Amino acid sequence: MKGKYRVVVQNNRLHYEFEIRRNITIIQGDSATGKTTLINMLRQAENLGRSSGVDVVCEVPCRVLEGANWKLLLQNMHGNIIFTDEENAFINTEEFAAEVRNSDNYFVLITRENLYNLPYSVEEIYGLHASGKYQNTKKVYQQMYQIYSEMLPCQSEPEKLLVEDSNSGYQFFEAIGKEHGIECESAGGKSNLFDLIKKTGKEETCVIADGAAIGPEMNRLYKQVKVKSNVKLYLPESFEWIILQSGIVDEKEIRTILLEPEQYIDRLTAVFGELYRVLRKDGTLWLNIADTYCGTGNKGGYADPKNPKGRTGQRIARNSRVTGCKQKDLIGIPWLLAFSLREQGWYLRSDIIWQKQNPMPESCKDRPTRCYEHIFLLSKEKKYYYDAAAIAEPLAPTTAERYRRARSTNSKYTLEIPGQGKVQGLNRPRDGGYYDDALMPTTRNKRDVWLINTVPYKGAHFAAFPPKLAETCILAGCPKGGIVIDPFFGSGTTGFAAKSLDRHYIGIELNAEYCALARARIGGAGLSSS
């Protein structure tokens, strides 16, 4: 599952309305706030349907998880929002936490306890309160609110930084502290953080903790900090995310690996959103992106001494576990991106299969070797520039013979089919001998399976695709004198092809080494590393 979901649960007396934004949502709060009632209403709706008097409105099913057979029930639930409360002892177990991590459901956990086995963020903790929306009626309106919102975000000019983490997070903030003359101390983990907060003096102190790791401890942390006016909290989603956002990590492969596939798709969608903004109304987008498999997660640190960048050029293998995927599952990156772009506003016009007779060898023995990639043709508008003649294929001899032989007037192929308009020219009945050679077509529209082999490139860029592939897309999608833009320029294959076809080009590339390759390949004119 991915995205935000609005949930409405109501009867003639109560109305619950809230938005579920993440895979784990914690609803805390005191007794008599309506938490148990919410579970009861959902249970009634699930068991009795309309006769329960409870309406549940959501675009995905809302289910209640409970009982001794909870694990079996959960394993048969997919794409649901699952509600459960603290009366079920299993929510405190490592077994339940493991099932949540491997599940493709969203979870709403109603409890006042701290669930230490689940790494939920501070941003995922809510309470329930009654709103005045229906104050003139007998119905009570219940709404979720962020319990700790008053402490977030942090605004502080500290004299001291106290960092929960002892590794990358501490190193990052220690460097920032040195730049600004601020003392930075590591707590060496959550267990020591609370003792160090107790020992803080009168200096202005900013406590920095991983928001996902501190979530179950948040209530304790909140109570401790609330009595110290000189102590402020800063709780980023994770230290890894802070480091990524800082821009100090330039290696694209590493950044990609650290992101969840959903976040990876979101980032790419944002890039193509900018292209959508600057593209002509009649412009097209030709998208090639590879897929990958979900792995075991236990080989990410391995480096082949013969191939330190990997056989495909990746420094670290993409074999981490993926939410919603089992080990060895094909993730489906190309189609996830295609559907995301369609939702953004693009027209998804064609799925082209790029077939290779010389694919990379694979050692797998339990599936076919991959020999193709997807190329998606997308457009900004219904009508767009597409030069079919520029990439047309030679007419097959068998087709030419069918033209010459013609169709008899009583052939089934000569009948009009309702809803399909006129009969194709190839199938129109023709009496009187052969088709006039002067009218004989010599080409046909290009099919959506392209056989184009990869070619070696001495520049050694690992992901260079063959120039013929780029040329085919450019000929069909861009007129002479037009502009071709490639936001992932690499070694400059797209620019090389565009220049050879009398098109202008714009290439964007973050890696300086690849820019140097592109400059050497294309000739340097118009290329800048700024």
**Distance between CA atoms of 381 and 217, rounded to whole angstroms?**
51
What tens digit of pLDDT does each residue of 65-107 get? 999 999 999 989 998 999 999 889 999 998 998 888 888 899 9
478 falls within a domain: yes
55 and 176 fall within a common domain: no
320 falls within a domain: no
* Structure confidence at residue 482 (pLDDT): 95
**Residue whose tokens read 């030679």:** 394
377 and 404 fall within a common domain: no
346 and 264 fall within a common domain: yes
**Distance between CA atoms of 279 and 284, rounded to whole angstroms?**
8
Of 111, 122, 118, the closest CA to residue 215 belongs to 122
136 and 221 fall within a common domain: no
* Structure confidence at residue 408 (pLDDT): 61
9 falls within a domain: yes
302 falls within a domain: no
* Structure confidence at residue 504 (pLDDT): 94
CA dihedral 466→289→342→472, nearest 10 degrees, is 10
Looking at residue 217, which CATH number applies to its domain? Answer: 3.40.50
Question: Of 243, 262, 281, which residue is a domain's last?
Answer: 243
Q: Which domain holds residue 221?
A: 151-243
**Residue whose tokens read 């914690």:** 26
What tens digit of pLDDT does each residue of 456-490 get? 665 544 446 789 999 999 999 999 999 999 998 88
Taking CA atoms, 19 is separated from 27, 84, 115, 124, in Å, by 12, 17, 22, 11
* Structure confidence at residue 311 (pLDDT): 39
Q: Which two tokens stand for residue 220?
A: 């304790």
* 190-198 and 218-226 helices, crossing angle to 10°: 10
pLDDT interval class at 530 (50, 70, 90) = very low
**Distance between CA atoms of 340 and 276, rounded to whole angstroms?**
13
Q: What is the total count of domains within the chain?
A: 4
pLDDT at 47 over 70: yes
156 and 214 fall within a common domain: yes
pLDDT at 401 over 50: yes
What percentage of the chain reaches a pLDDT higher than 70?
Answer: 75
136 and 163 fall within a common domain: no
* Structure confidence at residue 440 (pLDDT): 72
* Structure confidence at residue 378 (pLDDT): 97
Quote the mean pLDDT of the chain: 79
* Structure confidence at residue 309 (pLDDT): 47
Secondary structure element (H or E) that encloses residue 145, with its range? strand 140-146
104 falls within a domain: yes
93 and 133 fall within a common domain: yes
36 falls within a domain: yes
Of 106, 53, 115, 58, the closest CA to residue 82 belongs to 106
pLDDT at 304 over 70: no
**What pairs with residue 235 in β-bridges?**
none
Secondary structure element (H or E) that encloses residue 5, with its range? strand 5-10
286 and 362 fall within a common domain: yes
Question: Of 209, 243, 277, which residue is a domain's last?
Answer: 243
CB 20 within 8 A of CB 106: yes
Looking at residue 487, which CATH number applies to its domain? Answer: 3.40.50.150
- φ/ψ region of 303 (left if φ > 0, alpha if ψ in -120 to 50, else beta) reads beta
Q: Which two tokens stand for residue 56?
A: 């549940």
* Structure confidence at residue 347 (pLDDT): 96
- φ/ψ region of 277 (left if φ > 0, alpha if ψ in -120 to 50, else beta) reads alpha
SS (HEC) of 98-110: HHHHCCCCEEEEE
What tens digit of pLDDT does each residue of 497-512 get? 999 999 999 999 887 7
* Structure confidence at residue 458 (pLDDT): 57
**Distance between CA atoms of 381 and 328, rounded to whole angstroms?**
38
* Structure confidence at residue 252 (pLDDT): 52
pLDDT interval class at 517 (50, 70, 90) = confident
27 and 123 fall within a common domain: yes
What tens digit of pLDDT does each residue of 240-261 get? 666 655 555 444 544 454 446 7
217 and 166 fall within a common domain: yes
What tens digit of pLDDT does each residue of 419-453 get? 666 656 556 555 555 556 666 778 889 999 999 98
pLDDT at 320 over 70: no
DSSP line for 376-393: EEEESSSS----TGGGPE
364 and 463 fall within a common domain: yes
CB 466 within 8 A of CB 452: yes
* Choice among 154-158, 221-225, 280-284 with the minimum mean pLDDT: 154-158
What tens digit of pLDDT does each residue of 116-170 get? 888 787 878 888 887 755 555 577 888 888 877 665 555 667 888 888 876 767 8
* Structure confidence at residue 426 (pLDDT): 57
Question: Of 427, 444, 461, which residue is a domain's last?
Answer: 444
300 falls within a domain: no
DSSP code, position 371? -
* Structure confidence at residue 337 (pLDDT): 93
* Choice among 295-309, 334-348, 452-466, 470-484 with the minimum mean pLDDT: 295-309
CB 61 within 8 A of CB 81: yes
348 and 486 fall within a common domain: yes
303 falls within a domain: no
* Structure confidence at residue 278 (pLDDT): 92
3-state SS assignment for residue 240: helix
pLDDT at 525 over 50: no
